[in-house]
């Protein structure tokens, strides 16, 4: 991070969110969606794309108004701009993806209070120019979506033997009902975090 304060490193901004500062696996922020919407891959992917949309729009908007922000009012400005983009996203899903909107339910409006978005607004968008914040938002958002899809993939395969609704497991496979329940979410994520800590330690 040392050289980014001297000269903004655009390549690094776009890639740091993928693994090194992956919100779910490394920073452990914004933990509600990875646990709540990962019973199947399709809702997880919809959730990931919605978060990318909101993150990109709010990062760009906040970066454009960063010189106007007053320190004591900045958090409320962040939340209000995020709430606006979440409303847009929610209305879009209700109109064009009614099934997904029904499955995700209250978790779409809950993007407003997702720590990832307010965290990127605070540490990146309120200090850097528009292009840099844009790339940063894309990187973080994609990293988050990948994490969601990995978790949802594991849970969907083990819970129903299928992925995207297609059967892939052999007939003898007995579905693990527990994977569909809250306990499956917590334990899978715990094991994945343990695995990622194990792999990083070896390096």
Partner 1 sequence: MDRVTALVMGFLSVVIVNNFVFTKFLGTCPYLGVSGRLDTAFGMGMAVTFVTALSGILTWMIDAWILIPLHLEITRYICYIIIIAGAVQLVEMYVRKFFPSLYKSFGIFLPLISTNCVILGLCLFLDVWETNNLAEAAVLSTGTGFGFAVAICIMAGIRENLVLSDVPESFKGAPITLITAGLLTLAFLGFSGMIK
Closest contact distance (angstroms) between CB of 9 and partner 1 is 28
Taking every pair of Cα atoms in the chain, the longest distance, rounded to a whole number of angstroms, is 63
Smallest gap from residue 122 Cβ to partner 1 (A): 11
Shortest separation between residue 50's beta carbon and partner 1, angstroms: 14
Residue 31 sits in the site that holds partner 1 (CB under 8 A): yes
Question: Should residue 183 be labelled a site residue for partner 1 when binding is judged by CB under 8 A?
Answer: yes
Q: Binder to partner 1 among 60, 69, 113, 146 (CB under 8 A)? A: 113
Binding site for partner 1 (CB under 8 A): 28-32, 35-36, 75-76, 79-80, 83-84, 86-87, 90-91, 105-106, 109-110, 112-115, 118, 178, 181-187, 189-191, 193-195, 197-198, 201
């Amino acid at each position: 991070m040392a050289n980014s304060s001297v000269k903004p490193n655009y390549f690094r901004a776009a890639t740091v969110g993928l693994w090194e500062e992956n919100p779910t696996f490394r920073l452990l922020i914004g933990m509600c969606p990875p646990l709540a919407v990962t019973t199947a891959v399709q809702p997880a992917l919809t959730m990931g794309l919605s978060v990318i949309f909101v993150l990109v729009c709010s990062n760009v908007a906040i970066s454009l108004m960063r010189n106007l922000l007053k320190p004591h009012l900045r958090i409320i400005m962040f939340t209000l701009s995020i709430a606006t983009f979440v409303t847009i996203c929610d209305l879009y899903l209700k109109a064009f993806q009614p099934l997904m909107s029904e499955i995700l339910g209250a978790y779409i409006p809950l993007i407003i209070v997702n720590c990832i978005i307010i965290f990127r607004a605070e540490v990146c968008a309120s200090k850097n120019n528009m292009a840099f914040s844009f790339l940063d938002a894309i990187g973080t958002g994609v990293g988050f979506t990948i994490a969601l899809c990995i978790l949802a993939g594991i849970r969907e395969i083990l819970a129903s033997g299928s992925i995207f609704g297609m059967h892939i497991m052999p007939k003898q496979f007995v579905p693990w009902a527990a994977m569909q329940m809250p306990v499956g979410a917590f334990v899978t994520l715990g094991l994945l975090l343990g695995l990622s800590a194990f792999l990083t330690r070896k390096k």
